[in-house]
Structure 1
Amino acid sequence: MKPKFVTSAAVVVIGAGAFLAGRSSVSNSAKEGTASADEVKPLVTSSRGSGSGSADGSRSSSRTGGKSDSRTAGDSTRPATKEARLAKLENIMRGEDPLARNRALIDYLDQLDPAELKDAVDRFRAMGITQERFGEYSMMLTAWAKADPTGALAYAKENTNGGFATNAILSAWATNDPEAAIAWAKANHTGDEANPYLAGIIRGIAASDPTRATSLMTEMPYGKERGEALNGVLPHILTQGNEATREWIASLQDERLRNGAMEHVADQMAKTDPKGTADWLLANPGDAATRNMDNVLGTWAEKDQAGATAYYQALPAGEARSNALRGIVNTIADNDPQAAIAFMDSHPADVTDRTVQQLVWHTMEDSPELALSQVSKIGDQGAQEGMYRRAIDTWMRNDPAAAKGYLQTHALPPNLRGYVQNKLSK
């Protein structure tokens, strides 16, 4: 009897979001660089075993008591021939309703024998994997991993780059049989560098066994692979609450890993406990605290500007206080640039070049003239010139007539004269 894939495929509809979420959030080594659709190598569809049935899948099915396939996305009828079944997959994937498409795909996968999954994945990939179809791709790989993980991995190694497919398969395998997946990962990796297969396994076991997942992650050397593993563990640690998350991070012996984890969760924790998160960063000075105090205070100011301001004003002079000011100024600038400038100017001792740069970034799209009026406050000449250029380029792109009018009537630093003349001549 062939296995049913409904449960595993349904789970990955939710889990695929985790794979995709990481695709847009790479700013340091502790954050994941997830594979994109570019990982898929060009596929030459094999003609082997193509079948001779009707391409529209209209023949009666031997598995469903002679019911005909109506070719609707949600039809559970199994077409009689291989080619008809692959045609049905194409029909499902052309659907525009993602919910109906996913339901139909789960039903479709449950109709297949394990040996048919390779051909189904081949056909799916031959159609082209778009951003909107990565969830379905993950579902199909997960179904294959449940039936034949080593076969699915061999296929992924031969036909894909980037790690997305391999990680999806290993994650699904580890959910059911972590020891077998770990043994495969160790047997298929050589050398002293990080084992690239462990990240997917760690993602697969993090929910059911976060202790084991943490142990595997801490054994990995610093690098992209460990960042991917951290991305797989942290969502499950966060579900235990802020205090448990802080304790878990404190238990990490590797300073880089600990800082990466702190940086990754600080903004998320600040949404429910901004003061506790800010206090935590202050108590653990380092790269993570430096890079995240502005985000935490900015998140706090979105809901309670008075509370965030009072906290900032109580801080001693120094980097943490300057970073806190920057976060509050950024949040105010999103809604009221003039008020943000007034707030910044009322605390000159805490203003750094980065504070001004961030203010300009937050205002140049909607208030370009106001943004340009602040650039001269940047002390570093190179950074100042670069910010002038960025603000002007943004304005020229959005409203060239207004930008040229400004450049013709406002004096900018002499080192920008050639740049301004070039803009005016276009």
Structure 2
Amino acid sequence: MNPSWWKGGAVLGLVALAYLTGRYQAPDADAGGAVKDSRAGASSEETAFAESKTGRQTKSERQLSGFKSAVPFAPGGAREWFMTKGRENCEDSFTGLLQLIQNCATLDERAAEELAVELRDILKLYDAGDPEMRAAFDGDDLQERGLAATVFRLSQLNPQAALRFLQESPDIDRRGEMLEMVFANAALKDPAEAKALLSGLDDKMLRGAMEGVMGTLTGKNPQAAFDLLSGFTQADLDGERRKFVEKITKDDPAQAIKYAQTWVKSGRDARLVGSVVDDWMRTDPEAARAFGESYRGPGEARVKGILIKHAAETDPRKAAEAFAALGTEAANMGDTGIIVAKKYVAADLPGARVWIDSLPAGQAKDLATQELVDRWVKSEPLAAADWIDKMPAGPQRNDASIKLINSIRMRYPQEALDWAGSLSDQKQRETMQQHVLEGWKEIDPEAAEAAGKKL
């Protein structure tokens, strides 16, 4: 089977599609694992399964699909079942992929748990170089994709059992992705159960599991998603809080603001309010600006920075003045500083240089300086060189010098070589000297050789 069909998250996406469409659900089972069947005289699992499939698909659908119904296996038959079913339709990679997903998506809980354990062992044998497994799966990763589909199915039926299996399997590949889908299904099944399962995780697993929960629950029940995430205070989950308010902003920015403010007031990341305002500005700038200008509270400077960043699109000079007025609050607002710098440098390079000089030391000034140098060394390299020469020694001056060297090395090789020699970092100095000499050799080999000897 062509392995290209099995890479990335394709199998997980197709499993999810099968689940959401509801076409590949196993028949209900009673507590003992026996398949329920209302037909008189039907007792075999195979007959019940076939009847269940027939009831869900028309004859034409079955003919078009080309799939063969997966016959449930008796206890202890997981490996033989998978080895047989995994090779069906192997002449057609895509059909084989869908066949595998269908087979795994119709397992009952007992079979899914048994197959997951068996596939984990198959993977271990394969990785250890077992001849039988190498021969069976050489050139593809059927067993890995089968495991993903099986864990997905188990998580539909019993998320706790699926989680337990993953916790007992620390070495299997793609465990993080499987963890996400387990908790996505747990959230669909019962948000309260999902929260209880999350509470038992260590911090390392919590983040990935929460991503699965929020990815599912946010669209289905935003309030439940908010309530669930509010029960966890870990800073590692700030990214999930930010993604949550960004999604809510698309449909209801006012509600997103309320969610963000609630979290910020309880000590969560103060940048959340700014994130909402940033997205809001793209859909309703007047309302977002009105809120931002009146906002007072945690993250206030961040909100002002967002408004300034958007104002730079139409009036960079005015935006630069507003940014400078923030004083030391602006020092680490690098994302705003670089946007303003890009617009201001493009509109008025001399004015932007004066503005950048006035900024307090910090991330914003560093990034704005990089933007200034990028443009200046290309348009006026000699003027830029005078300004760079006055910068204090250190990494930022070195970075600016390297940009200047790269800009002038073919036009002014001797000056570029002199600048390379001024770099304070020895490794950078030697690298750039060699770089200049290589370029110089292309236009004047004799002069380049003479200069190299002097070094």
TM-score (normalised: structure 2):
0.55
2:416 is matched with 407
Q: Secondary structure at the match of 2:283?
A: coil
Of residues 77, 101, 105, the one that matches 2:68 is 77
Identity %: 11
Q: Within 5 Å, give how 1:86-101 maps onto structure 2.
A: 86-88=86-88
1:19 is matched with none
1:180 is matched with 193
2:167 is matched with 157
Cα displacement string for residues 345-376 of structure 1 (whole angstroms, at most 9, x for unaligned residues): 36467545545532454577898645983772
Q: Secondary structure at the match of 1:306?
A: coil
Cα displacement string for residues 178-230 of structure 1 (whole angstroms, at most 9, x for unaligned residues): 233333444x458x999665564454433333333323322323321x33542
1:118 is matched with 116
In the TM superposition, what is the alpha-carbon distance from 1:149 to its structure 2 partner? 1.9
More displaced stretch, 255-264 vs 310-319: 310-319
Of residues 256, 261, 271, the one that matches 1:245 is 256
2:438 is matched with none
2:429 and 2:261 map into 1 onto residues whose CA distance is 52
1:217 and 2:215 matched: no
Q: Secondary structure at the match of 1:259?
A: coil
1:102 and 1:285 map into 2 onto residues whose CA distance is 55
Of residues 358, 366, 371, the one that matches 1:357 is 366
In the TM superposition, what is the alpha-carbon distance from 1:287 to its structure 2 partner? 7.8
| Residues 9 and 140, structure 1, Cα contact 8 Å, conserved in 2 | no
Of residues 247, 265, 268, the one that matches 2:279 is 268
Give the residue type in structure 2 aligned to 1:211. Q
Give the residue type in structure 1 aligned to 2:68. T
1:309–1:189 distance in 2 versus 1, CA, 3 Å: same
Give the residue type in structure 1 aligned to 2:82. K
Of residues 154, 163, 169, the one that matches 1:144 is 154
Q: Within 5 Å, give how 1:26-65 maps onto structure 2.
A: 63=50
Q: Secondary structure at the match of 1:207?
A: helix
2:87 and 2:348 map into 1 onto residues whose CA distance is 58
2:16 is matched with 9
- Structure showing greater radius of gyration is 2
Q: Secondary structure at the match of 2:251?
A: coil
The CA RMSD over aligned residues, in Å, is 5.5
Give the residue type in structure 1 aligned to 2:417. Q
1:166 and 2:179 matched: yes
Give the structure with the larger helix fraction: 2
1:414 and 1:86 map into 2 onto residues whose CA distance is 61
2:45 is matched with none
1:345 and 2:344 matched: no
In the TM superposition, what is the alpha-carbon distance from 1:169 to its structure 2 partner? 0.5
Gap regions ≥5 residues in structure 2: 1-11, 22-48, 55-63, 72-80, 127-136, 436-455
Cα displacement string for residues 106-145 of structure 1 (whole angstroms, at most 9, x for unaligned residues): 65554555524627975899789x9xxx999977644331
| Residues 249 and 261, structure 1, Cα contact 8 Å, conserved in 2 | yes
Q: Secondary structure at the match of 2:325?
A: coil
Of residues 318, 323, 330, the one that matches 2:326 is 318
More displaced stretch, 285-294 vs 270-279: 285-294
2:195 and 2:427 map into 1 onto residues whose CA distance is 61
1:388 and 2:400 matched: yes
Of residues 189, 207, 217, the one that matches 1:205 is 217
1:101–1:314 distance in 2 versus 1, CA, 3 Å: farther
Q: Secondary structure at the match of 1:87?
A: coil
| Residues 409 and 416, structure 2, Cα contact 8 Å, conserved in 1 | no
1:6–1:261 distance in 2 versus 1, CA, 3 Å: closer
Q: Secondary structure at the match of 2:219?
A: coil
Of residues 270, 277, 281, the one that matches 1:259 is 270
In the TM superposition, what is the alpha-carbon distance from 1:248 to its structure 2 partner? 1.9
